[in-house]
Copies of this chain bind each other. A is one copy, B any other.
Amino acid sequence: MSLRDEARELDAMDPLAGKRAEFDLDPDVSYLDGNSLGAPPRAVAERLTEVVGKQWAGRLIRSWDEGWWAAPERIGDRVAPLVGAAPGQVVVGDSTTVNLFKALVAAVRLNPGRPEILLDDGTFPTDGYIADSAARLTGHVVRRVPVHEMADVASSRTAVALVNHVDYVTGVLHDLPGVTAALRSAGALTVWDLCHSVGAVPVHLDACEVDFAVGCTYKFLNGGPGSPAFLYVARKWLDSFDQPLTGWAGHADPFAMTAGYAGGSGIRRARAGTPDILSMLALDAALDVWLDVTVDQVRAKGLALGDFFLRCLDAGAPGVRVVTPRDHRRGNQISVAWPEAAAARTVMSALTDRGVIGDFRPPDVLRFGLAGLYVRYADVFRAAEELRALSET
């Protein structure tokens, strides 16, 4: 059977095939950039119309008491099962950057007398920038190490380690359970960045005894461009979580408007300022696509899509070098290095013009995200075909 026919057959048998109809996507587009910006669930537009027209216009200020104020915790509890967290430990709001700052400063305060912050040396940039800033303010030193060396490097000097679950360039899936356990043995806390795994790879924060985690909701959770991020604080730290963005929304009794800050009980104290309701309720609607599907199902499809894509690439695009692990120690993307680094960005533009949308990351990497809720086997077949055609021009 040809790979083209095989793609058709795989799509026909795909138990998730029907989910694509829940997204507003041009059928002619092969959208392989859900690792950067998830596609729009159809429910979002409808919800926004309701939030603006009925809640904001209709109820005006009263809507704050009628669901808006509690939305960050309520929606956090919808994200929680996707990352293996029991209720009450996840809150939605602010950006990943801002939540990283909260988590890192709180972590070093909880682990005093340890001068070092370990940082995944392949981290997405913002994590490193924020680690440097937090270290500067709290008198710590940031030490950049490869994730696979963290277990050896962690010591009684380590306050906290900040680790990306999935490497955003290569797609490598790091060993969250193992690294967390090794750090814990050294008495270090962990902050995991789940941006590239949430909604694509099963995560078991509670079971792995992770201390803190952050993640964005605009990739595999499809919350919309720049939608609110989330922050996980393990139950055991909730009472002592001492974060620096002590906004009124995290106060124990915000509407008492007292002069001194007193952090609220539970995850509320991870909140900062007034929550951004339009974006937050757009995310709420986007999360409805998870009502009848599990992360395990999406993971299985993502791996199958990747395996098939790799076969297509091997068969048809021999010039590109796959930088993502071929075994299943990968997240939910396949990254390939283009033979001529200087041309890689142009190649992605050409692919996009041909209706195959991925993205480019320096210096020479083309990334293809495999969002199982809407990517078809035919899409990855087509991507490999177009890559082959471009490599022959």
* Known A-B contacts A133-B245, A137-B137, A279-B279; A144 and B98 likewise in contact (beta carbons under 8 Å): no
Chain A contacts with B in 23-51, Cβ cutoff 8 A: 24-26, 29, 31, 33, 36-37, 39-40, 44-45, 48-49
Looking at the assembled complex, report how far the CB atom of A65 sits from the nearest CB atom of chain B, in whole angstroms.
11
* Known A-B contacts A273-B95, A276-B279; A64 and B245 likewise in contact (beta carbons under 8 Å): no
Q: A residues near B, CB below 8 A?
A: 24-26, 29, 31, 33, 36-37, 39-40, 44-45, 48-49, 52-53, 56-58, 60-64, 68, 94-98, 101, 105, 121, 124-126, 128-130, 132-133, 136-138, 144, 216, 218, 224-229, 244-249, 251, 254-261, 272-280, 282, 352, 357, 359, 361-362
Q: Which chain B positions have C-beta within 8 A of A261?
A: 128-129, 132-133
* Chain B residue nearest in CB terms to A24: B57
Q: Which chain B positions have C-beta within 8 A of A33?
A: 60-61
* Chain B residue nearest in CB terms to A23: B57
In whole angstroms, what is the CA distance A98 to B227 when docked?
A: 16
Please give the count of copies of this chain that the complex contains: 2
In whole angstroms, what is the CA distance A257 to B121 when docked?
A: 13
- 9 A-B pairs with CB atoms under 8 Å apart are A24-B53, A26-B58, A37-B64, A61-B357, A95-B272, A96-B273, A130-B246, A136-B244, A229-B273
Q: Which chain B positions have C-beta within 8 A of A249?
A: 97, 126
The answer to whether A60 touches B39, judged by C-beta atoms less than 8 angstroms apart, is yes
Q: Which chain B positions have C-beta within 8 A of A56?
A: 37, 40, 224-225
Q: Which chain B positions have C-beta within 8 A of A121?
A: 259
The answer to whether A60 touches B357, judged by C-beta atoms less than 8 angstroms apart, is yes
Q: Which of B29, B61, B228, B251 contacts A125 (CB 8 A)?
A: B251
The answer to whether A273 touches B98, judged by C-beta atoms less than 8 angstroms apart, is yes
The answer to whether B98 touches A276, judged by C-beta atoms less than 8 angstroms apart, is no
Q: Which of B24, B125, B274, B280 contacts A95 (CB 8 A)?
A: B274
Q: Which chain B positions have C-beta within 8 A of A244?
A: 101, 133, 136-137
The answer to whether B245 touches A277, judged by C-beta atoms less than 8 angstroms apart, is no
The answer to whether B224 touches A278, judged by C-beta atoms less than 8 angstroms apart, is yes
Which of A29, A56, A216, A275 has the most CB atoms of chain B within a 10 A radius of its CB?
A56
Q: Which of B96, B133, B245 contacts A97 (CB 8 A)?
A: B245
Q: Which of B218, B246, B352 contacts A132 (CB 8 A)?
A: B246
Q: Which of B39, B52, B101 contacts A57 (CB 8 A)?
A: B39
Q: Which of B96, B226, B260 contacts A277 (CB 8 A)?
A: B226
The answer to whether B224 touches A52, judged by C-beta atoms less than 8 angstroms apart, is yes
- Nearest 5 pairs of A and B residues by beta carbon: A95-B273, A97-B273, A97-B247, A225-B277, A126-B248
In whole angstroms, what is the CA distance A277 to B228 when docked?
A: 10
* Chain B residue nearest in CB terms to A132: B261
Q: Which of B62, B125, B129, B276 contacts A276 (CB 8 A)?
A: B276
* Known A-B contacts A60-B37, A244-B101; A225 and B94 likewise in contact (beta carbons under 8 Å): no
The answer to whether B278 touches A29, judged by C-beta atoms less than 8 angstroms apart, is no
The answer to whether B247 touches A130, judged by C-beta atoms less than 8 angstroms apart, is yes
In whole angstroms, what is the CA distance A45 to B5 when docked?
A: 44
In whole angstroms, what is the CA distance A74 to B241 when docked?
A: 37
The answer to whether A57 touches B40, judged by C-beta atoms less than 8 angstroms apart, is yes
The answer to whether B53 touches A257, judged by C-beta atoms less than 8 angstroms apart, is no
* Chain B residue nearest in CB terms to A261: B129
